[in-house]
Structure 1
Amino acid sequence: MARRRKAAGTGGCVAPALGVAAVGAVLVGALGFVAAHPVLPAVVGTVVLGVTLSGLVLWQQARARDARQAWQLEVARSQEIARYHAMAPNEFERALAFLCTRDGCSQAQVTGRAGDLGADVVAYAPDGRKIVLQAKRYGVASKVTGPDLQRFGGTCYTVHGARVAAVVTTSTFTKQARQYAAHHGIRLFDGPGLAAWASRTGPAPWH
């Protein structure tokens, strides 16, 4: 019985040995094939290089396409904001009312007049919320200030019943104005924000 167990144990080592021998035979065969075909490494290298270069070209083309699209987007936005800079204040208010109607609001109307208490455009968002906009058609050198926001903030909710209150300008806002707006939930749209809304590449004030 002891001899049988020894024989069985010896047989258990045969499979690994055969596996090693098989791997060795494959390697020897592969080396022999490469030696018999010396041009093969060059061919493989050429294929790898070609694939790499193709991937690089595709990557560069994708980057160029993205840059071109970004440039076209900036051109569209700059054209939009240039249009609004050329408007008179009352034309600017009508343009904002048009944008509201275009984007699904109802009952968009210009209310800006003497004694309007800061409400230049009133509309209702697609979900029914009342929107009150103040329009500031300023030059690039004139910023909307903190006191401007304070006057609007004192009436937009309590007097006009706004659910969405926003100040839209062709210029920009001072730090104090931004701080006041953030504290009182007033949304600010500067020149780039207006251009993005107008060109449908950015959100509307009620989004």
Structure 2
Amino acid sequence: MLQRDGLRAEVVGGRGDQAVDVLAVDAAGRILAVQCKHTSRGRRVGSEVLYRINGTAGAAYGAAQSMVVTNGSFTRDAAAWGKRHGILLADRQALLAWAQDADHICQVVALTPPY
């Protein structure tokens, strides 16, 4: 979907990925680091996921922005922490809008174009 939205995207997830699953680069050369979390129905992603990507996205990958995407939801603490630290969050509802409604990533989360 990142590629559909005009970004160059590369899967980097796996062993030693340093809390980043996908790196995407926009037309201006800015890097977006994305962590994807699949949850069981009704489960929530906690703050520890955000702590990890916040600590590694810029340092390890030179990312200007980081985002966590889940098919579930986020705990209240995770949502508050992400907002405070500028980490973009896409929960199940946002993911559906992005995938099914073909909304652009900038419509789904508060990314500043040209992302």
Q: Is TM (by shorter chain) over 0.5?
A: yes
2:3 partner amino acid: T
Correspondence for 2:89 = 188
Q: Summarize the alignment of residues 46-195 of structure 1 with structure 2, pairs less than 5 Å apart.
A: 99-106=1-8, 108-195=9-96
The higher radius of gyration belongs to: 1
On the 8 A contact 2:31/2:65 being kept in 1, the answer is: yes
Identical aligned residues as a percent: 34
Q: Does 1:201 align with 2:103?
A: yes
| 1:194 to 1:146, Cα distance in 2 relative to 1, 3 A | same
What CA deviation, in whole Å up to 9, does each residue of 1:16-57 have, x standing for no partner?
xxxxxxxxxxxxxxxxxxxxxxxxxxxxxxxxxxxxxxxxxx
Of Structure 1 and Structure 2, the greater helix share is in 1
1:122 partner amino acid: L
2:43 partner amino acid: S
Report the secondary structure of 2:67's partner residue: strand
Aligned mates of 2:61, 2:96 — CA distance in 1: 26
Displacement of 1:204 in angstroms is 4.7
What CA deviation, in whole Å up to 9, does each residue of 1:77-131 have, x standing for no partner?
xxxxxxxxxxxxxxxxxxxxxx11111012x110001111111000102332111
Aligned mates of 1:204, 1:124 — CA distance in 2: 17
Displacement of 1:144 in angstroms is 0.4
Structure 1: unaligned runs, 5 residues or longer: 1-98
| 1:188 to 1:154, Cα distance in 2 relative to 1, 3 A | same
Of Structure 1 and Structure 2, the greater strand share is in 2
On the 8 A contact 1:134/1:168 being kept in 2, the answer is: yes
1:180 partner amino acid: W
Structure 2: unaligned runs, 5 residues or longer: none
What TM-score results when the alignment is normalised by the length of structure 1? 0.49
